[in-house]
Amino acid sequence: MQKTPLSPEKIARLNQQFEQCKAQLLQLSWITQGSVFETQEHTWRWTRKVKAKTVTVALSAQQAPLFQQAIAQHRKLEALLEKMRAITLDRVAEIVPSQKILLGSVPGPPRRKRTPPKPPLTSRHS
């Protein structure tokens, strides 16, 4: 059974949401990954992962808020990208994606039904 393509109204709404996300991307400033924290000695540290290793850099009191802002901007970027992916996938629920906008905007070929998995082989001992 073939799924019905997305309606033109739904495609227009999804396109509008996507364009809003793109506009928000343009509002972002400097970005970086990691976290910033103050040590017990009242010095600042920026940590991040580089090639699966944690890298720590000492920061001045003036640098710390700049890095905190850049990290916050990075988190906004990640949230916007996730929203854009969700729009592209047209998620109905967080766990189960429905029709994909790229595939659902026009009729596609008929799809085969999924076959149930075969039961595991059991060994016989005589």
pLDDT one-digit tens code per residue, 38-73: 999 999 999 999 999 999 999 999 999 999 999 999
Residues 9-15 have a mean pLDDT of 83
Map residue 95 onto helix, strand or coil: coil
pLDDT digits (tens, 9 = 90+) for 107-121: 777 777 878 888 887
**Average pLDDT along the chain:** 83
Characterise 34 by phi-psi region: left (phi > 0), alpha (psi -120 to 50), beta (else).
left
Query: Number of helices and strands (H, E) in the chain?
Result: 3, 3
Residues 76-94 have a mean pLDDT of 78
What pLDDT was estimated at residue 5? 62
Q: Which two tokens stand for residue 30?
A: 């400097």
- Does the pTM surpass 0.75? The reply is no
- C-alpha triplet 23, 19, 14: angle, nearest 5°: 150
> Which tops the pLDDT comparison, 11 or 85?
85
Burial call 6-20: b when 16+ CB within 10 Å, e when fewer: beeeebeebeeeeee
* Lowest pLDDT segment from 29-38, 57-66, 77-86: 77-86
Going from the C-alpha of 86 to that of each of 60, 95, 104, the distances in angstroms are: 39, 11, 14
- State how far the Cα of 95 lies from the Cα of 38, in Å rounded to an integer: 37
